[in-house]
């Protein structure tokens, strides 16, 4: 029996596991790093133990410390969540040797699926269909490249020990191979301590469909239907749904049976996911098996009514599966949208900061929010930037999609840049509504998705400007003596016998927008403004009350929630999720480097590699330097032809966000 459970993880998955454990009357133990001392999962647990410094390798990956603390606290079982130690066979064996239940599969199953190349060989022997590719042990570049040349481009390089898009690169032609291979190997070694690579044929219009499987120690196995996880960016899922749209019953059964075949080939126990590529003709191919609970498991729970964590704990205690295949039912449709702290307009660069405003939609039987943070928490550089998972259910896909869009509109976050507006644009895209899903969906519709974002920003410029003006007036009023409050302190734009005109520069992401604001009066002598953008001039009036903005633009009244922190604004309603800054007027100072491009570090991170030598000429678009932040590599590229004069940091050194990384002279500047 499991009476006391240690959750060897953090964030939303730790909170998710504890929720079920508490429902079952099981005591919980949290572990935490320096960065997580005040984290939500720590507050939820009955007991919590400190592991060490913030970096994962010094805390959440310290299997020895976790076991030591588990024994000291009389823990019966350890749930690893996902990521970190969840697919670490050595940790599973360590639990077993210390008489602690590992809530997951046997170490032998983890080992079998831990190497993608070994997994492919096992699946081939078991009769599970495979994508054409090279999964051998010869890792010479010439061997890997010859395999790619033989199967034809495009190909996909994949870390054999990988997952979550780490150590993965698409290669579209022979000339890209070496650079892509080196990058994939570096990222794989940094993430998994292993740079063994696979080469697979890259299907150009596949869907990513995965089967949730469950097995027990009594030889029983079932599949809990499928999830479509095709909509991804950088090989990481952002919107998942269940069941997969346009899935025929015959394909569902064939894929489910193949997944059970895969699980039984390695004597699997517990929750697992078998991932397939589904081609246009209905053929499907094994990709990999994740020997843990998936991030997107809630959509399966929503359509089946089952608690998969409860199933995990029951199976870990040695019980038979709660239901047979015939007893499992599929009801309705569910979506999961992953809410990330990242900037989609800047190549999905992760964002760090304090969550000054965190207002999720109201939860119900139809809407679920799985999160590990609360308002005031910090999204740090040390861990994955996912804030929450927003999950909705509907009687049909159309109804569920409407609920998803409405719930996204109700999700308001300030303090970091998020992907919420991007998720809304994806979910409202006509191709997504029509379920025209492929793993290249974002790339295929990229232009339309981001053109729509720019149109949305242009349309909201008058509202952003009036918020900035009203907030400034409000702050001047606060600065005055309340007892002698007078119009002079609210006058920011007032001039005797004349209207006053000023220009505001609004920064949204990396793009600046200039608006002209002219203070006028309505017929009833109330204040109003004429605001001119590149597209139009409109009359605007409004007022702020606490964090509410009531505004009228060209005769149309609207309401917004807003947040302000250190000059950064957030503006939100059902149709708007915009973060912006009012740029201070230039003081006209000279900058001797003003002709050079900004090579500042986009965020805190570690320098991975210099890709060129100082004094070496580079071409526009050529990668110069690679840094790693928040578990992903980011390349700094040359903005033009030129020369790298010097690097300010060496590989392995930590850098702060905003630090200058290198000195670069463009070819034009050299010519001058």
Annotated catalytic residues are 292
Edge to edge, the sheet with strand 168-171 lists 133-134, 197-201, 155-159, 168-171
Task: Assess contact for 146 and 187: CB atoms under 8 A.
Answer: no
DSSP string for residues in 515-527? EEEEEEE-TTS-E
Which of helix, strand or coil describes residue 656?
Answer: coil
- DSSP collapsed to 3 states, 230-289: EEEECCEEEEEEECCCCCCHHHHHHHHHHHHHHHHCCCCCEEEEEEEEECCCCCEEEEEE
Which of helix, strand or coil describes residue 148?
Answer: helix
Local structure of residue 604 (DSSP, 8 states): S
Q: How many helices (H) and strands (E) are present in the chain, helices listed first?
A: 17, 38
- Which residues fall within 8 angstroms of residue 120, CB to CB, at 6 or more apart? 130, 133, 135, 198, 286
Task: Assess contact for 168 and 159: CB atoms under 8 A.
Answer: yes
**Strand partners for 159:** 197
Q: Can you tell me the distance from the alpha carbon of 464 to that of 508, in angstroms, rounded to the nearest whole number? A: 10
The torsion region of residue 649 among left (phi > 0), alpha (psi -120 to 50) and beta comes to beta
- Which residues fall within 8 angstroms of residue 104, CB to CB, at 6 or more apart? 79, 80, 86, 92, 110, 270, 271, 291, 292, 312, 316
CA distances from 594 to 229, 393, 582 (A): 45, 52, 21
Q: Can you tell me the distance from the alpha carbon of 124 to that of 479, in angstroms, rounded to the nearest whole number? A: 73
Task: Assess contact for 352 and 380: CB atoms under 8 A.
Answer: yes
Task: Assess contact for 305 and 331: CB atoms under 8 A.
Answer: yes
Question: How many other C-beta atoms can be found within 10 angstroms of the C-beta atom of residue 412?
Answer: 23
Measure CA 642 to chain center: 34
Provide the token pair at 149. Answer: 């040349």
Local structure of residue 151 (DSSP, 8 states): H
Task: Assess contact for 350 and 385: CB atoms under 8 A.
Answer: yes
568-597 burial, b at 16+ Cβ within 10 Å, e below that, comes to: bbbbbbeebbbbbbbeeeeeeeeeeeeebe
Question: How many other C-beta atoms can be found within 10 angstroms of the C-beta atom of residue 26?
Answer: 20
Angle between helices 107-114 and 89-97 (to 10 degrees): 170
Which run of H or E residues covers position 11? helix 11-23
The gap between the terminal CA atoms of the chain, to the nearest Å, is 77
Closest CA to 158 of 126, 123, 202, 128: 202
């Amino acid at each position: 029996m499991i009476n006391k459970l240690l959750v060897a993880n953090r964030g939303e998955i730790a909170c998710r596991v504890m929720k079920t454990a508490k429902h079952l009357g099981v005591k919980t133990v949290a572990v935490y790093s320096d960065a997580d001392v005040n984290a939500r999962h720590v507050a939820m647990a009955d007991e919590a133990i400190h592991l060490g410094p913030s970096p994962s390798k010094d805390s959440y990956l310290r299997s020895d410390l976790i076991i030591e603390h588990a024994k000291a606290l009389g823990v019966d079982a350890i749930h690893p969540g996902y990521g970190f130690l969840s697919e670490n066979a050595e940790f599973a064996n360590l639990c077993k040797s210390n008489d602690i239940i590992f809530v997951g599969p046997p170490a032998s199953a983890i080992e079998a699926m831990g190497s993608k190349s070994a997994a492919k060989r096992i699946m081939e022997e078991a009769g599970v269909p495979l994508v054409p590719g090279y999964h051998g042990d010869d890792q010479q570049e010439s061997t890997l490249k010859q395999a790619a040349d033989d199967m034809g481009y495009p190909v996909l390089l994949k870390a054999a020990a990988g997952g979550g898009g780490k150590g993965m690169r698409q290669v579209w032609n022979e000339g890209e191979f070496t650079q892509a291979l080196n990058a994939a190997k570096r990222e794989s070694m940094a993430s998994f301590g292993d740079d063994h690579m696979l080469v697979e044929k890259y299907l150009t219009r596949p869907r990513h469909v995965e089967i949730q499987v469950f097995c027990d120690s009594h030889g029983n196995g079932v599949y809990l239907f499928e999830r479509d996880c095709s909509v991804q960016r950088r090989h990481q899922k952002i919107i998942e749904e269940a069941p997969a749209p346009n899935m025929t019953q015959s394909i569902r059964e064939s894929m489910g049976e193949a997944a059970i075949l895969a699980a039984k080939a390695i004597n699997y126990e517990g929750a697992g996911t078998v991932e397939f590529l589904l081609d246009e003709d209905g053929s499907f191919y094994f990709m990999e098996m994740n020997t843990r609970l998936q991030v997107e498991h809630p959509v399966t729970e929503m359509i089946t009514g089952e608690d998969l964590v409860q199933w995990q704990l029951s199976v870990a205690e040695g019980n038979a599966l709660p239901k047979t295949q015939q007893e499992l039912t599929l009801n309705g449709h569910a979506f999961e949208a992953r809410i990330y702290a990242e900037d989609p307009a800047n190549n999905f660069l992760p964002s760090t900061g304090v969550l000054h405003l965190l207002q999720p939609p109201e939860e119900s039987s139809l809407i679920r929010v799985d999160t590990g943070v609360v308002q005031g928490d910090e999204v740090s550089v040390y861990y994955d930037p996912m804030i929450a998972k927003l999950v909705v259910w509907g009687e049909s896909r159309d109804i569920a999609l409407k609920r998803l869009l409405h719930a996204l509109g109700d999700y308001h976050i300030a303090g970091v840049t998020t992907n919420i507006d991007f998720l809304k644009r994806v979910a409202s895209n006509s191709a997504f509504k029509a379920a025209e899903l492929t793993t290249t969906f974002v790339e295929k519709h990229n232009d339309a998705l981001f053109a729509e974002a720019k149109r949305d920003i242009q349309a909201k410029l008058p509202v952003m400007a009036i918020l900035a003006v009203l907030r400034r007036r409000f702050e001047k009023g606060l600065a005055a003596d309340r007892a002698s409050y007078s119009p002079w302190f609210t006058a920011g734009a007032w001039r005797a016998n004349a209207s006053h005109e000023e220009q505001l520069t609004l920064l949204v992401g990396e793009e600046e927008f200039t608006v002209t604001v002219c203070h006028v009066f309505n017929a009833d002598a109330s204040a109003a403004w004429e605001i001119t953008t590149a597209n139009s001039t409109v009359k605007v009036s409004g007022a702020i009350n606490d964090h509410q903005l009531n505004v009228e633009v060209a005769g149309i009244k609207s309401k917004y929630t807003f947040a302000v922190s250190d000059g950064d604004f957030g503006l939100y309603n059902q149709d708007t999720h915009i973060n912006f800054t009012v740029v201070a007027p230039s003081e006209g100072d000279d900058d001797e480097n003003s002709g050079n491009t900004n090579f500042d570090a986009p965020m805190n991170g570690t320098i991975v590699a210099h890709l060129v030598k100082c004094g070496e000429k580079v071409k526009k678009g050529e990668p110069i330097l690679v840094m790693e932040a928040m578990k992903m590599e980011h390349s700094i590229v040359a903005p033009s032809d030129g020369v790298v004069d010097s690097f300010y940091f060496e590989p392995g050194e930590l850098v702060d966000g905003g630090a200058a990384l290198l000195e670069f002279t463009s070819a034009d500047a050299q010519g001058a």
